[in-house]
Each structure stands twice: as C-alpha cells, then as structure tokens.
C-alpha cells in the first residue's frame, strides 16, 4: 500500500522535471553572436539555440562584393558543413558556404558583382 504522504513528493519531482524542459529555461540557451569577414565586407550574425545554428550574412561597410574575392570568417563552433546560393540585387548572385568551420561568401558572376544588404542564411547543427 502506497502512503498518501509520498504522492506530494512525486508531484514535486514531476513538476521539477517538467520545469527542466520548460520554454522559459530553453530561451536562456538562445545566443546571438556577430563576426566580420576578412577582408572587410560581410557581417555574420550567428543565432544559436542548443545544437541548432542559424547564420545570416549581410554586407558591411560596402554594398558590392568583388568577384574573385572570398570574404571569410573562422567560426568558433564545431558545425556540420553546409552551403546555399545567394540572390543579390539586380540579378547578382553568389555562394555562402560553411566548410570546416570557415564561413565564406563570394560573388559568382564576373559581369555582375554581388550586391545586397541582406545576403543569405545557412542552417546547420553542432557536431
């Protein structure tokens, strides 16, 4: 026979377990970091929620990225590789990659350099 006095303790333990996975606590794990490319030209904003990583790239201090130049940034996180295409203004295009924890943005058309303020985003996960 189970004692009636044990039930309140079980309820408290259940409540504490559920609180561990609550939205409020999980929001405290949401982090935002900003990094800049070398050479200067692209700002990367990193949104981290647990193992999920979202990366946005924007032009910074310039409006046009020159063809043939890779704008790179070392990411201080150990992430899975990924890539995406960028569509800029007036039909310009580029690539946005994450390979071996290095972010790279580059223009892909020599006749029409990559132009934009907001360029693209990547989604990846921590390894």
What domains lie within the chain, and their CATH numbers?
A: 30-125 (2.60.40)
User: Is residue 90 over pLDDT 90?
Assistant: no
Dump strand ranges (E) for the chain.
30-36, 42-49, 52-59, 64-65, 71-74, 82-87, 93-99, 102-107, 114-115, 118-125
Specify the pLDDT at position 3.
45
Q: Which has more pLDDT, 13 or 102?
A: 102
Q: Using alpha carbons, select from 77, 119, 114, 118 the residue that is nearest to residue 98.
A: 77
Mean pLDDT value of segment 87-97: 85
Mean pLDDT value of segment 19-23: 56
Specify the pLDDT at position 2.
47
Specify the pLDDT at position 36.
96
Rounded to an integer, what distance in angstroms lies between the CA atom of residue 73 and that of residue 88?
Answer: 20
């Amino acid at each position: 026979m189970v004692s009636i006095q044990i039930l309140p303790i079980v309820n408290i333990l259940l409540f504490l377990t559920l609180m561990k996975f609550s939205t409020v606590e999980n929001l405290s794990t949401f982090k935002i970091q900003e990094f800049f490319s070398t050479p200067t030209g692209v700002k990367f904003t990193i949104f981290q929620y647990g193992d999920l990583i979202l990366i946005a790239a924007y032009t910074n201090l310039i409006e046009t990225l020159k063809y043939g130049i890779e704008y790179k940034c070392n990411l201080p996180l150990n992430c899975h590789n990924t890539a995406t295409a960028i569509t800029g203004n007036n039909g310009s295009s580029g690539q946005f990659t994450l390979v071996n924890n290095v972010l790279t943005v580059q223009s892909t058309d020599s006749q029409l350099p990559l132009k934009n303020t907001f360029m693209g985003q990547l989604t990846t996960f921590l390894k």
